Each structure stands twice: as C-alpha cells, then as structure tokens.
C-alpha cells in the first residue's frame, strides 16, 4: 500500500510540474519496484511481473513474467529489483543472473 501511495505521489508531481497532463489510479499495481515511461506506454515492474499500460487512457495493455528459474521466468531478490528497458518494439528484462528479450 505504501508503494502505491508513492506511485500516486510521483504521478502527481509530474502533473504539477507539467511533465504530464493526466492523473490516474492503477488499481492493479500493488508493489511497484520500478517505473519506466516512453511516449506511448508506462512500464511497471512488480517483483517478477511486468505490466504495460497505455499513456492515453491508463488501461492495462499486457502483463508478463513470473517467478521461477525456467525459460521466461525470473527470480525475485529483496532490494534488487528486476529492470525493464524498451528498445523500439522489443522489451529487455534484466534480473539477477538472467536477461530476457520479450
């Protein structure tokens, strides 16, 4: 709950300082670890799960990733969040000991 309030505070700051024109609540987001934004989409990392939201209407586009050691899975270690980087239409996810392209 505390991280959800922090997320809302960050989005509020963007609105106040003029970096954003919209304010939204994302009820699906419970424990955000990292947030990344580009012109069209908002990317949120929650442990081993990654969510992509539309900037236009803040609707969930897709959600992927899960906890594990198999293909397409990442481990979750406290204080070392998994990271997401966007390269055009490809998403590069970096975890502890593993990197995956989606």
Residue 19 predicted with pLDDT over 60 = no
β-pair type (34-37, 41-46): antiparallel
pLDDT at 20: 52
Query: Can you give the chain as a three-state secondary structure string?
Result: CHHHHHHHHHHHHHHHHCCCCCCCCCCCCCCCCEEEECCCEEEEEECCEEEEEECCCCCEEEEECEECCCCCEECCECCECCEEEEECCEEEEEECCEEEEC
pLDDT at 49: 86
Give the predicted TM-score (pTM) of the model. Answer: 0.69
Residue 9 predicted with pLDDT over 80 = no
Residues 6+ apart with CB under 8 A from 18: none
pLDDT at 53: 92
pLDDT at 90: 83
pLDDT digits (tens, 9 = 90+) for 36-93: 888 888 898 888 888 899 988 889 998 888 888 888 788 887 778 888 888 877 888 8
Residue 15 predicted with pLDDT over 60 = no
């Amino acid at each position: 709950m505390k991280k959800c309030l922090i997320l809302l505070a960050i989005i509020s700051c963007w609105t106040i300082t003029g970096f954003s024109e919209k304010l939204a609540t994302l009820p699906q987001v419970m424990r955000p670890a990292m947030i990344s934004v580009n012109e069209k989409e908002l990317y949120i990392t929650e442990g081993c799960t990654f969510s992509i939201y539309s900037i236009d209407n803040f609707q969930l586009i897709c959600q992927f990733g899960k906890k594990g050691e198999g293909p397409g899975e990442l481990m979750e270690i406290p204080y070392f969040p998994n990271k997401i980087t966007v390269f055009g239409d490809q998403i590069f996810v970096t975890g502890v000991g593993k990197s995956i392209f989606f």
